[in-house]
Amino acid sequence: MEKEVHEQYEYARRRLRQKKVLYFHFVLFLLGSLFLFIANRFFGFGEGTSQNWCIWGITIWLFLFILHFIKVYITDRFMNKKWEREQIDRLVALQQKRISQLESSINEENENKI
């Protein structure tokens, strides 16, 4: 029982850390986007370019943040330790079934030869 409680605690601690890092990434994204926008508009960085480079930078950063969000709230939420154990058990059962089929076919061949 104590092992199960410890696993639950470790899972909760890991999820909390993931969410904390995600929130930090969001704040960093907001501040970084604001900095890029101000640098482009008011300080004249990138005046030689015809495009708004800060929009491209913010868009790429937003895409990376969305991937991080998906990893934390969708992927890791469903594919946790319990899911891993279930998949391993399923694969082991399939392997055992295949081994038993091979053994039975080998036994049948041996019986037919005798």
What confidence score (pLDDT) does residue 1 get?
A: 66
Residue 51, classed as helix, strand or coil, is coil
Q: Give residue 62's pLDDT.
A: 95
Q: What is the pLDDT of residues 51-64, one digit of tens each?
A: 678 888 899 999 99
Average pLDDT of the chain to the nearest whole number: 86
- CA angle centred on 68, ends 6 and 63, rounded to 5°: 175
Residue 45, helix vs strand vs coil: coil
**pLDDT at residue 84, as a whole number:** 79
> How many Å apart are CA 36 and CA 25, to the nearest integer?
16
Regions of the chain with pLDDT less than 70: 1, 46, 48-51, 114
pLDDT attached to residue 70: 93
